[in-house]
Amino acid sequence: MLEWLPLSADDFQNEKFGIKWSEIGDKIALGKKRKFTEILEMPGMHEKIFGPIDRGGTRCEICGSEEGVREEEKGRMVCSFCKSLEVLAKEIGKASYWIETRKTDRRISEKEKVSWKEAISKFGVEYAFVEEIDKDLKTREADHISVYKLNDTYFSNIIPGYKDAKSPISFGFKFLAKKTPYAIKEIPDIGGKIYKKEEIKEFSDLANDSEGIKRWAVLRADVDNLGKIFAEGLSEDRTISRVSNLSAMLSLFFKGWMEKIYEGDDYEDSVYAIYSGGDDLFVVGAWDKMPKIGKKIYDDFRTFTCRNPNITLSAGITIAPSEKYPLYQAADLAREALDKSKGLEGKDRVTFLDKPMKWDIFSGEVTGLKENLKKLLNAGVSRGFLQKLNEIDGEYEKQKSEHGEASARYDDRYGRWRWLLAYVIARTKVSNENEPLLRETEKLIRKNIEYLPIAVRWVEFITRKEQGEKNG
């Protein structure tokens, strides 16, 4: 998204520059909600875009295009452009170098036509993501070549070998969150022979990596009040260099450090970094890993910002209803969850299982209650215990509804849900060894009754067996 604002010499003064920075941020945010409006204003484009285009041909299963569609493995129908993006994803996942070649008269090969490379070439540039640098780089003709080491600042060792290169070459490094999970898969060839090949995990693979229900999930997060941070956060010291440095530091976290987080032992092979940069991120992975990785991201971000109370992060986590649920729809649901986190005063929240809550509540009481309930089930308590807890929550919600606005002033020390909870706890049989755990769980419920349904659903999902597992 590109936007611009006119600036006068006076706008470069400290206070005014911060205001202008905030204005351009708002303009970009608005532009993102009105994508391609300029195209619609062009003569004839409205009919071309919204007019009938169906010619009765085979459609791409990804974008719906009828151009260049061919059958892939497993009977998938994919167009040339979408196929090129799949190849790009594989290349980025394995890449150690990003090579940028600028050449004004670059010609597109037949293989590259109708691909992402053709689109980029319109700007006079070629990108390549490779594990090793091509040997012909020294003899390649170009206006300029830039070689970037990915997620590694040590690149000086490769410079001496290109001092006598035919074209000017520069070297540097870039941080890029490109975490991609792989799996060895058995693939049949045309003759029916099976061979093994390392492939990027599909969403069904991520779902199968989950504990309990087999689902994948989306995590979206971004910095709270970013416009206000840039406009007011530096007070009177809003010089160009300070504002630019603040932007660069945020980008360093989301592009650089995020890759380290994704490589954590608990979720290394179950997380796919769709996007991470600037001030936001978009991650797909096994559903049970998303709460854990979300909390890790939040904790590291707060440490990175020296726990500044004015620089916080909000997130939204959405579990896909099924393995084949469209990613774009899950992404929209995660965006709605993120908006719900930001819709409350103070922000600095996460929405999980459709419930927004402060991060400390989520990682403390809610997670602790979830762990206790899981331990009780593992100790032999029946799943019916969870159903009884749902009934207790229903009684609590009924009480709130009956008292309406007065519920905040209502003394519920004798509320029926409390007596129902005491009865359920008394009727739950556990060993002497687990009696303290049961009592601790009761105290957590009494203190955090508002979040009880989140913990219960969380445990239900973790401990539920899929139909295939039951039959297997």
One DSSP character per residue, 29-93 reads HHHHTTTTHHHHTSTTHHHHHHS----S-PPPTTT---TT-EE-GGG-EE-HHHHHHHHHHHHHH
In this prediction, residues 401-429 reach a mean pLDDT of 76
Bridge partners for 145 per DSSP: 101, 169
List the one residue out of 308, 157, 150 whose CA is nearest residue 223: 308
In this prediction, residues 307-329 reach a mean pLDDT of 92
* Per-residue pLDDT at 1: 67
| Average pLDDT of the residues of the chain | 85
Residue 419 φ then ψ, to 5°: -70, -35
In this prediction, residues 278-305 reach a mean pLDDT of 94
**Residue 472 in this model has a pLDDT that exceeds 50:** no
Give the list of residues 6+ apart from residue 324 with CB closer than 8 angstroms, or none.
Answer: 203, 204
* Per-residue pLDDT at 53: 60
* Per-residue pLDDT at 471: 40
62 vs 379, residue with greater confidence: 379
List the one residue out of 246, 315, 329 whose CA is nearest residue 282: 315
188 vs 318, residue with greater confidence: 318
* Per-residue pLDDT at 70: 79
**Residue 431 in this model has a pLDDT that exceeds 50:** yes
Between the alpha carbon of residue 257 and those of residues 27, 179, 244, 294, 300, the distances in Å are 28, 12, 19, 14, 9
Confidence of residue 424 (pLDDT cuts 50, 70, 90): very high
List the one residue out of 317, 288, 270 whose CA is nearest residue 211: 288
**242 residue type, one letter:** R
- Domains assigned to the chain: 70-174 (no CATH), 202-352 (3.30.70.270), 369-471 (no CATH)
* Per-residue pLDDT at 352: 96
Least confident of 183-187, 264-268, 407-411, 459-463: 407-411
* Per-residue pLDDT at 339: 93
d(CA 60, CA 76): 8
d(CA 230, CA 294): 25
Bridge partners for 356 per DSSP: 351
Confidence of residue 184 (pLDDT cuts 50, 70, 90): confident
Confidence of residue 54 (pLDDT cuts 50, 70, 90): low
Confidence of residue 74 (pLDDT cuts 50, 70, 90): low
d(CA 281, CA 219): 8
Q: Cβ(177)–Cβ(259) under 8 Å?
A: yes
DSSP codes of every residue in 248-308: HHHHIIIIIIHHHHHT-TTTTTSEEEEEEETTEEEEEEEGGGHHHHHHHHHHHHHHHTTT-
Residue 167 φ then ψ, to 5°: -115, 155
d(CA 279, CA 312): 11
Confidence of residue 444 (pLDDT cuts 50, 70, 90): very high
In this prediction, residues 380-404 reach a mean pLDDT of 88
d(CA 91, CA 84): 10
d(CA 67, CA 29): 32
Give the list of residues 6+ apart from residue 58 with CB closer than 8 angstroms, or none.
Answer: 66, 69, 77
Confidence of residue 367 (pLDDT cuts 50, 70, 90): very high
**219 residue type, one letter:** L
d(CA 147, CA 313): 33
187 vs 226, residue with greater confidence: 226
* Per-residue pLDDT at 249: 92
Structure tokens at 70: 């061919």
In this prediction, residues 232-252 reach a mean pLDDT of 83
d(CA 218, CA 272): 10
* Per-residue pLDDT at 86: 86
In this prediction, residues 10-34 reach a mean pLDDT of 77
* Residue whose token pair is 């009592």: 439
Give the list of residues 6+ apart from residue 346 with CB closer than 8 angstroms, or none.
Answer: 358
In this prediction, residues 405-419 reach a mean pLDDT of 66
Residue 15 φ then ψ, to 5°: -65, -45
List the one residue out of 258, 262, 282 whose CA is nearest residue 270: 262
238 vs 471, residue with greater confidence: 238
Least confident of 46-50, 158-162, 325-329: 46-50
Bridge partners for 230 per DSSP: none
Confidence of residue 164 (pLDDT cuts 50, 70, 90): confident
170 CB neighbour count, 10 Å cutoff: 12
228 CB neighbour count, 10 Å cutoff: 12
- The half-sphere exposure of 377 on its side-chain side, counting CA atoms within 13 A, is 19
265 vs 248, residue with greater confidence: 248
Confidence of residue 8 (pLDDT cuts 50, 70, 90): confident
268 vs 319, residue with greater confidence: 319
